[in-house]
Amino acid sequence: MKKIWSLFVILLVASFTINAQEATTFLGIPIDGTKSEVIAKLKAKGYKQSTTDRDALEGEFNGEDVLIYVQTNNNKVYRIAVLDATSRDEGQIKIRYNNLCSQFQNNARYSIADPEVTDYKLSDTEDISYEMTVHNKQYQAAYIQRPNDPAAYNRLVWFTIGKSGYGKYTVAMFYENLNNKATGEDL
């Protein structure tokens, strides 16, 4: 009986280790566990409680001042949302968006999520304001983290352009662990 119990403990530990490796990571922190655990890890990386939003942390990420939100489903973290703290005009947001596309495309830890897309970059002639206002167009780019891993489809990182006022825009990035996302189990 003791041997069976030891084997059970080994398998249990191995399954937790495998699940932790399968989770999307943000700054090396797995998008998994409880909200308080993930917030504690983010604070250990230097992020502070936001002075303007009690649900957010603030700090710098990838050279930008950002607000960070930890989102849960059934008390398990499934997403970290990273929002620009500073808005930009249309020309500046195209540059920011295209720079992010280049950074992800040139990073071997990521691959484009949609096999039919080769590049998400915007042309200089794209009229973001017109397209978003008149045609409700959304600008999004999606990538898979650690694409050579068989469980990569559960590790989605994507970003989008959002309006933050008249003629002003921000980028919102989402690091998601699709294993923890709502699937209608509460319906």
- Find how far residue 5's CA is from the centre of its chain: 38
Q: Tell me the per-residue pLDDT of 13-24, one tens digit each, with 9 for 90 and over.
A: 333 334 445 899
- Give the global pTM: 0.86
CB 172 within 8 A of CB 84: yes
Residues 6+ apart with CB under 8 A from 153: 144, 178
Rounded to whole angstroms, how far apart are CA atoms 13 and 154?
A: 21
Least reliable range by pLDDT among 7-11, 139-143, 147-151, 168-172: 7-11
Residues 6+ apart with CB under 8 A from 175: 24, 25, 26, 31, 79, 80, 82, 145, 157
Q: Tell me the per-residue pLDDT of 20-73, one tens digit each, with 9 for 90 and over.
A: 458 999 999 999 999 999 999 999 999 999 999 999 999 999 999 999 999 999
